[in-house]
Amino acid sequence: MPVDSRKIDPRRLRPGELCRLLNSTPLGEVIGERQLLRHRTRAGMRICADGDTQRVDLLRYAAWLVRERHARLAEPEISEAEEYERHRERTRARSVSLSRAGRDIGPLPEVVNPQRKQECERDFRGFCERYFPATFHLAWSEDHLKVIARIERAVLEGGLCAMAMPRGSGKTSLCETACLRALVYGHREFVALIGADEAHRGVAGRPSRR
């Protein structure tokens, strides 16, 4: 069906109308709706018709295309190797940005009791008693104090130690609290708490963050 060109306003074209108009020349198909959508996204409001963001001004669109072409011609030619290196650098920068954004947990709150915090920095027993009184509410045995001293030395100075205690005597609670203290005070950057198996790991398997 022939189109009445008198009814077409080149300054106020719908995207579909613009594609059909540009593809109606002897050159054949020169643009598709997807490509036009990409151009509209890049150009933004610069190619919209006056007062109607859903329509395109053909003259403004043509001027934008000319500027884009001249800008590309003005850019220095680069080899494929250089373009690949630029792509790698952009990818690396994006990965770094995403990684930093993921690690950003915001500003830390004010310390409620700075004196208590300072005193417990080198006192594992005090840390257990003052920060976890509900967990460590029973009196310490002599064996407990020996284990606490060994854990303290391992956290602050390094080294290995093996301990055996009866079931229910607080081994897991001491180990979990020691890991937490090592992280929050920065005594150790990475801490791994290993349980016997999946079924017995309990809260010890939950990840912790500084």
Quick check: helix, strand or coil at residue 55?
A: strand
Q: Where are the domains of the chain?
A: 1-101, 114-205
Q: How many CA atoms lie within 13 A of 98 on its CB side?
A: 6
Which residue is listed with tokens 């027993």? 125
One pLDDT digit (tens) per residue for the chain, 210 residues: 455 555 789 999 999 999 999 999 999 999 999 999 999 999 999 999 998 999 999 999 999 999 998 888 777 777 778 888 888 998 999 888 888 777 766 777 889 999 999 999 999 999 999 999 999 999 999 999 999 999 999 999 988 888 888 888 888 899 999 999 999 999 998 888 887 766 655 544 454 443
